[in-house]
Amino acid sequence: MRRCPLCHSDKTTRFYTDKKRCLYHCQLCQLVFADANSHLPPTAEQQKYRLATSKHKPLARFMLDLITQCEDGQTPLLGLSFGRTIDTHTLQKITAKGHRLNQYDPSIAPWSRQLKQEYDFICCYRVFEHFRFPYREWALLCELIKPGGWIAICTPLLSELSAFDKWHHKNNLTHVSFYQRQTFEYLANKVGFKLLFAANDLILVQKPSESDITRDQTSVVAGA
Ligand SMILES: [Zn+2]
């Protein structure tokens, strides 16, 4: 039995084993996670991670689409690229529109206090699967996003537990946390965020704005 690194439940079962590692399934939040004993040493993890970063040109497209969706035509946005850095050319495009983007890549620099601000949007492109302690990262993201702001997550969604042995994402040893739709439903419900499943492993989560919260409270009072 292993404690779930996302919801901390003890209701986990050994789910899949191959030559390299053992994976567990949490019955509460439905996360599938790798046994911590099989995590790669930090240097090997960073090498593989950096290699993957250099291949991720779609990140730029993902980021620009996200900004277009968040733009309201007037307000400059403050965004955060969480877990990966984008190329200089794309960054210039974003600043030319009047927006600002902070970037955090654990393979380049550790998390810094200067990054601890409130953001209009946060982009998490192919990073959730690398989280060894997803509880911690999720809590941080919830704190960093402004009321009304969006967190855009791109991670391979695990749709069929029964087909896990054929699912290629499990073969990358830097992938240690796998999420199902129910996992995101669990997370969004817990903090009262709005959840949307868009196409191609894209998950959008919105923190309620202050006016939403006031409205909810008013309706509770009105209904009481
Ligand atoms: Zn769990």
Tens-place pLDDT, residues 167-194: 999 999 999 999 999 999 999 999 999 9
* Cα–Cα distance for residue pair 6/221, rounded to 1 Å: 34
Interval between CA 133 and ligand 1 midpoint (Å): 11
Yes or no: say if 155 and 186 are a contact pair by the CB < 8 Å rule. no
pLDDT score, position 148 = 94
The beta-strand segments (E) located in the chain are: 12-17, 22-26, 32-34, 78-82, 100-104, 119-125, 145-154, 177-178, 194-197, 202-206
User: Is the pLDDT reported for residue 24 higher than 80?
Assistant: yes
pLDDT tens for 7-18 read 999 999 999 999
β-strand pairing of 202-206 with 119-125: unpaired
pLDDT score, position 224 = 37
Instruction: Count CB neighbours of 19 within 10 A.
Output: 4
Interval between CA 4 and ligand 1 midpoint (Å): 5
Please give all residues whose CB falls under 5 A of ion ligand 1, grouped by chain where several chains appear. 4, 6-7, 9, 26, 28-29, 31
pLDDT tens for 94-132 read 999 999 999 998 878 888 888 999 999 999 999 999 999
Interval between CA 151 and ligand 1 midpoint (Å): 21
pLDDT score, position 132 = 93
Interval between CA 6 and ligand 1 midpoint (Å): 5
User: Is the pLDDT reported for residue 1 higher than 50?
Assistant: yes
- Token digits of residue 35: 């046994």
Interval between CA 69 and ligand 1 midpoint (Å): 31
pLDDT score, position 223 = 41
Interval between CA 140 and ligand 1 midpoint (Å): 17
User: Is the pLDDT reported for residue 216 higher than 70?
Assistant: no
β-strand pairing of 177-178 with 119-125: unpaired
User: Is the pLDDT reported for residue 152 higher than 50?
Assistant: yes
Interval between CA 159 and ligand 1 midpoint (Å): 16
Mean of pLDDT values over 148-163:
95
The structure tokens 């998490």 sit at 124
How far does Cα 105 stand from its chain's mean position? Answer: 13
pLDDT tens for 47-104 read 666 666 555 688 999 999 999 999 877 689 999 999 999 999 999 999 999 999 999 9
The HSE-up count of residue 45 (CA atoms within 13 Å, CB side) is: 16
Interval between CA 5 and ligand 1 midpoint (Å): 7
Interval between CA 31 and ligand 1 midpoint (Å): 6
How far does Cα 14 stand from its chain's mean position? Answer: 24
